[in-house]
Amino acid sequence: MESVIKRFSIKRFINELKVKPFIIALAIPFGVQLLSYFVTKGSMDFYGEINKPPLAPPGWLFPVVWTVLYALMGISSYIIWDEKSEYTKEALTIYGIQLAFNFCWSIFFFVMQSFLLSFIWLCGLFILIFIMIAAFRKINPFAAYLQVPYALWVIFAGYLNAGIFMLNR
């Protein structure tokens, strides 16, 4: 991994940064986050009242973590877009599909409070994230590594979601 990071030069990245596409790349995941907030806004209050498994973080932590993850998604997608590889279109399509899955999970969990459906959906999301990481890796390994925290958080979210399902039937 160290050689991948060495090959990815922050200085070169900043010098060659195309500002408008970079802003668009960041705006897409942050747009999903904002839309998710508005769709689920009135539905999130129940989280404090339901039974949660051990290690469940406080509700305020989720928007903080998701903001960091969406920033990493945007940066990563920009890197992939900028590479102009023969695999770019496929990789960004997978990226878009997983973002849509990500958005739908919030509706299933918070609005519908369907914990089993949301857990199953989250498993599908993890598979899409894994496929996306593999597709990104073919183009730019550093961009793929930027998605690893997202994959790890979704695994943790799966633990929380499964625990909430089992404790609140």
Domains of the chain, residue spans? 9-39+59-167
Q: Check whether 11 has a pLDDT greater than 80.
A: no
pLDDT tier at 2, thresholds 50, 70, 90: low
pLDDT tier at 4, thresholds 50, 70, 90: low
Query: What confidence score (pLDDT) does residue 59 get?
Result: 84
Query: What confidence score (pLDDT) does residue 9 get?
Result: 66
Q: What are phi and psi of 33, to 5 degrees?
A: -60, -45
Alpha carbon 22 to its chain centroid, in Å, reads 17
pLDDT tier at 24, thresholds 50, 70, 90: very high
Query: What confidence score (pLDDT) does residue 146 get?
Result: 98
Place of tokens 């770019």: 88
Residue of higher predicted confidence among 53 and 12 = 53
Q: Cα(146)–Cα(72) distance, rounded to whole angstroms?
A: 6
Q: Check whether 48 has a pLDDT greater than 90.
A: no
- Range with the poorest average pLDDT among 13-27, 82-96, 116-130: 13-27
Residue type, 81: W
**Do 27 and 16 meet the contact criterion of CB atoms below 8 Å apart?**
no
- State the CATH architecture for 9-39+59-167: Up-down Bundle (1.20)
Mean pLDDT of 25-51: 91
**Do 102 and 132 meet the contact criterion of CB atoms below 8 Å apart?**
no
Mean pLDDT computed over every residue of the chain: 92
Residue of higher predicted confidence among 1 and 27 = 27
Q: Any idea what the Cα angle at residue 105 is, between residues 104 and 110, rounded to 5°? A: 105
